[in-house]
Amino acid sequence: MSPSAPSTLVAVEDAAIGYGSPFLRGISLNVATGDFLAIVGPNGGGKTTLLRALLGVQPVLSGRRVQNAPLRIGYVPQRDHVDAFWPLTVAEVAIMGRYRLIARGRRPKGVDRAAVTTALDRVGIADLAPRSFRTLSGGQRQRTLIARALASEPELLALDEPTSGMDPPAELDAMDVLRELHRAGGLAVVMVSHRLEAVANYASRLAFVDKDRQLFHVGSLESMVTPDALGELYGRRVNVREENGRRFVYPEPGGTA
């Protein structure tokens, strides 16, 4: 699919990204209706910068960003960028996602509260609505932030390292939530992760990014979760195994690609 195909929601074409001077050039990447794209690479590799350029928050330094129509975007930031001690309830955090839909100076109406209830229910925490945000577990806080993004009724849900700092059960739980939201239809998902294991069984497309090695490669999940493609990302030989219906990636110690 070309970056500006009719089903494309947003794209960058032959773009250079960076701050002041480019650290990656020739980037072409699109997000289409119904997509589930994961941008994967090492910490500091340029993943978040690419996401910001795709969303229009960070201007591209050359090339162009294409968005053919108004696009409703729900954004979930990294959890360590959010004050974990907000003196707010779960419902009050989630209703922040409605602010752009509420006229300035107006109070939330029934339709806004209903949208929040629906969003909390979609991520499985409707019963936590009256709870204080500060009392939640890490996984529950992440669900709250996803509900906040969903309350804005987005066409595109964008998440920056949504499982960072989570233990394995919480990480699987968060990714299961995203899979169910995506499977429900009508929502494209794009997320950044430095953990391939967090996305290898969920995303439909992967983009590998590493500015230090001048690496950018995008393709279907099946074409990217292969020893050759992963060897390029990790710089060493990689084994890929399927166990009980799930893919696992095992970089070989000391083995260069």
Q: Which two tokens stand for residue 83?
A: 């004050």
At 68, which amino acid appears?
Answer: N
Question: pLDDT tens digit string along 162-217?
Answer: 988 888 888 899 999 999 999 998 899 999 998 888 898 999 999 999 999 999 99
Cβ-based neighbours of 247, under 8 Å, separated by 6 or more: 200, 201, 225, 240, 241
Q: What is the pLDDT of residue 104?
A: 66
Query: How far is Cα 250 from Cα 244, in angstroms, rounded to an integer?
Result: 16
Query: How far is Cα 202 from Cα 84, in angstroms, rounded to an integer?
Result: 27
Q: What is the pLDDT of residue 244?
A: 80
Is there a contact between 209 and 41 (Cβ–Cβ < 8 Å)?
A: yes
Question: pLDDT tens digit string along 50-78?
Answer: 999 999 999 999 999 999 899 999 999 88
What sections of 160-253 are H helices per DSSP? Answer: 168-183, 196-199, 221-224, 227-234
Could you give all domains of the chain from N- to C-terminal order, each with its CATH number?
1-71+156-257 (3.40.50.300), 83-154 (no CATH)
Q: What is the pLDDT of residue 73?
A: 95
